[in-house]
Structure 1
Amino acid sequence: MKKPVQQPSTQLPDQAFELYDKYAHGMLSRRDFFTAMAGLAVNAALATTFINSMMPNYALAQQVSFNDTDITASYQKFASPLGHGEGRGYLVKPKNAAAALPVVLVIHENRGLNPYIEDVARRLAKAGFIAFAPDALWPLGGYPGNDDAGREMQSRLEPAKIVADLAAAAQWLKQLDGGSGKLGVVGFCFGGAMTGRLAADLPNVVDAGVPFYGSPPPADKIAAIKAPLLVQLGELDERVNNQWPAAEALFKQHKVNYKIEMYPASHHGFHNDSTARYNKEMAELAWQRTLAFFRQHLG
């Protein structure tokens, strides 16, 4: 039986989660995080317990085993001439598929291809899709096994080349043997932002996108989007949510096919079941909506 991820103390105000979000995205140093927590009247011991509880526990969070008999998984490379030359990712397929299947690109957070994202790819394969999760850190040797180190590594890479690598992954996956030619994209945090970005940059490649709590696409690119988008946001994620009203106005202006789902009492990262920000009820609802959306638009 899957054990629950340790939850943070209920003594903490919601602002503590906002501070952690800034720390996790490089906006606060660890020292500044603890200083700000002290400003919320949170003592150092409780702040330490909190920050430790937010670190992922991948062993407890796994939903689909890597050796599940219904799927086949492997690591595959793809060419990325406009990016870092070569990319690598985790490819998962349903076993013994009788027909061509829609494919889904899974884009990780700002820390590389960690076990949670690999598990998301396996979940998609269990649901009948071919899934591929590229590792933006491959040019530096790949995900290092530690999220803090992964964040630091990703910050050293040129953003434009990361985007080019992800675009190359999408184009490679679109033509994959056994795929139906229909491509969906789902991403989380950084990956959520990249989901909308790829929909704008590759309007003839991306057929549907589901960004989870990511920044909206650049304003000057929104008009190019053709794919329907299902935007998944946590009610308590002020940093990301504050960016969406202006983007939504442009979505309406340019007649983008979109829907925004807001999940009550949910923080940034609420789908990630390896951390204490996980909201089980809302994550499961968001995931069922994701699968239904892809089945509707990818066939």
Structure 2
Amino acid sequence: MTQHHATLNRRRFLTGAGSLGFALAVQPVAASAILTDSQLLQTGIPAIDTGSGAMPGYYAKPENAAGPLPLVIVIQEIFGVHAHIQDLCRRLAKQGYFAVAPELYFRHGNPAEVADIDTLMRDVVSKVPDNEVQNDLDATWSWAGAHGADLRRAAATGFCWGGRQTWLYAAHNRQLKAAAWYGKLEGPVTANTPRHPLDIAAQLEVPVLGLYGGQDQSIPQASVEKMQTALKQAGKNSEIVVYPDAGHGFNADYRPSYHARDAADGWRKMLDWFARHGAG
């Protein structure tokens, strides 16, 4: 991608639905959607140097904080860095974190402008290679470190599409202290997706907390059980919690899939996991 095209994509993000509300593909938004205010927070859109253009996204951190802040990189769902992902950043900032969510599709299209999931998957998501994502997460890590984050106290979290990338990033960046939440664990091997979380279980040094729904039709329990077995056999300091009544996307409060009790419990477990492993 040329610098010109990267700049145009960033401008589209700044002025498009992705920076203002929910992605078109998730309309209508459920009444359960949570809105976290930005009082006492500093929020904004970063310009992350990736080496092939400035990557936008969203960040939130406590206002006027003294000293470097613990970092959480928030890895988006398939819908990009829309209002829900931005809200998660603010929730983390309210807990004292510097939270940043990079817009990992910025070279390929604006998911906020796509009206249905099938088109989004075909025209945007399928074009994003894992190695590009992991490199962009490294760029996000570097940007955060240069803007007030303490990289000695850093974690990653991601949901659905981003949850899979979180497992992969935990294997890629061993400087992370912890990682958490749900994502696919296995799938077809392609040029863009050469490895999946099950393939890297034995390489994990970063402790990952997997939070999965027992009724999830997109991430079968058979996959979750395989991952539990792989982690145990490799002697890894990672854990998986299964919520029997929760389905796919149970933390997504803006969707009908939201399961408030399990989402709240998972959020508490995530924060405890980060603190226990030195990312608090």
- After TM superposition, is the score higher than 0.5? yes
Aligned to 1:227: 206
Q: Indicate yes or no: 2:86 matched with 1:118.
A: yes
Q: Indicate yes or no: 2:56 matched with 1:88.
A: yes
- What TM-score does the superposition give when structure 2 sets the normalisation length? 0.77
Aligned to 2:47: 77
Matched residues in 2 for 1:90 and 1:144: separation? Answer: 14
1:199 pairs with one of 161, 170, 177: 170
- What CA deviation, in whole Å up to 9, does each residue of 1:177-224 have, x standing for no partner? 322222100100011101110011112x22100032432644442232
Q: Indicate yes or no: 2:181 matched with 1:211.
A: yes
Residue 146 of structure 2 aligns to a residue whose secondary structure is: coil
Matched residues in 2 for 1:219 and 1:60: separation? Answer: 33
Using a 3 Å threshold, how does the CA distance of structure 1 residues 60 and 210 change in structure 2: closer, same or farther?
same
Q: Is the 8 A contact 1:106 1:132 kept in 2?
A: yes
The 10-residue stretch of structure 1 (110-119 or 161-170) with the greater mean CA deviation from structure 2: 161-170
Residue 261 of structure 1 aligns to a residue whose secondary structure is: strand
- What TM-score does the superposition give when structure 1 sets the normalisation length? 0.73
1:237 pairs with one of 216, 239, 247: 216
Using a 3 Å threshold, how does the CA distance of structure 1 residues 271 and 218 change in structure 2: closer, same or farther?
closer
Q: How many residues align?
A: 242
Using a 3 Å threshold, how does the CA distance of structure 1 residues 55 and 142 change in structure 2: closer, same or farther?
closer
Q: Is the 8 A contact 2:134 2:172 kept in 1?
A: no
Aligned to 2:7: none
Contiguous gaps of at least 5 residues in structure 2? 1-23, 187-195
Aligned to 1:101: 69
Q: Percent identity?
A: 29
Residue 285 of structure 1 aligns to a residue whose secondary structure is: helix
Matched residues in 2 for 1:195 and 1:53: separation? Answer: 23
Aligned to 1:180: 150
Matched residues in 2 for 1:96 and 1:225: separation? Answer: 36
1:61 pairs with one of 4, 8, 33: 33
The 10-residue stretch of structure 1 (142-151 or 228-237) with the greater mean CA deviation from structure 2: 142-151
Q: Is the 8 A contact 1:109 1:188 kept in 2?
A: yes
Matched residues in 1 for 2:233 and 2:142: separation? Answer: 28
Q: Which has the larger radius of gyration?
A: 1
Q: Is the 8 A contact 2:102 2:137 kept in 1?
A: yes
Q: How far off its partner does 1:118 sit?
A: 0.7
- In angstroms, what is the RMSD of aligned CA positions? 2.5
Q: How far off its partner does 1:225 sit?
A: 1.5
Q: Indicate yes or no: 2:217 matched with 1:246.
A: no
- What CA deviation, in whole Å up to 9, does each residue of 1:132-184 have, x standing for no partner? 001112114544245636444222334432332233323433x2332222210
Matched residues in 1 for 2:68 and 2:31: separation? Answer: 33
Using a 3 Å threshold, how does the CA distance of structure 1 residues 218 and 62 change in structure 2: closer, same or farther?
closer
Aligned to 2:141: 170
Matched residues in 1 for 2:226 and 2:251: separation? Answer: 25
Using a 3 Å threshold, how does the CA distance of structure 1 residues 170 and 56 change in structure 2: closer, same or farther?
farther
Contiguous gaps of at least 5 residues in structure 1? 1-51
